[in-house]
Structures are given as structure tokens and as C-alpha cells.
Copies of this chain bind each other. A is one copy, B any other.
């Protein structure tokens, strides 16, 4: 692979990961997690996400009404815990269905 391809790949890979990341984060917040524990859980499932992407995404999903959150003081520092609310449950279900259908169609094109 040439250097040019590598830099293009580095530019385009985040684009192909972006939608799946939203689904993965919603899926992981079935139970309460704070940012770093969620990041670890995702990594354990093969989905790497940096904190500069994850934290703004958590705030955005909360502002869209899909997550509940609370602060807790642990190990002498505040942690913000998130979990899906009922709207998040419903959206994850619908979005998963869209994702599966869409990806099946894309997979058909690529084969």
C-alpha cells in the first residue's frame, strides 16, 4: 500500500465507522457506564473509539433525549454516568433495523 492510500484510508475509515459507533454506544448503555468504562467495554468488543470522539457523542445523544445521566463522586473525582432511557431503547431498536437492512444492501453491492 502506498503512503497516499494510507492517508486516504485514514481519512475515510472514520467515515465508514461513524454510524456504527452511534449504534455501539447506544447498545453499550443498556446499563449505566461512565465514559471510560464504556470505552473499555467497546474495546473489549473490538470497537476502538478515542475519548475525543466518545465524550462529545455522549453529550450529543443526551441532548437528543436518548440518555439519562447523573454525576457521582468516586475515587475522589466526579464521574458522569450515562444510560439509555426509554426513547433511547426505542431509537436503538429502529436504528438497528435500518442499519441491518442498509448494510445488507451495501454488502450485496460489494460482493
A1–B92 alpha-carbon span in the complex (Å)? 12
Count the copies: 2
Distance A110 CA – B17 CA, assembled complex (angstroms) = 15
Number of interface residues of A (CB under 8 A): 43
Q: Is the interface of A mostly helix, strand, loop or mixed?
A: helix
What are 21 A-B pairs with beta-carbon distances under 8 A? A2-B90, A5-B90, A5-B94, A8-B65, A9-B91, A11-B64, A12-B95, A13-B95, A15-B19, A16-B19, A16-B95, A16-B98, A16-B99, A17-B102, A19-B19, A24-B106, A27-B109, A27-B110, A47-B102, A47-B106, A47-B109
Hey, which bits of chain A sit against chain B, CB under 8 A?
A: 1-2, 4-5, 8-9, 11-13, 15-20, 22-24, 27-28, 42, 45-47, 64-66, 87, 90-91, 94-96, 98-99, 101-103, 105-106, 108-110
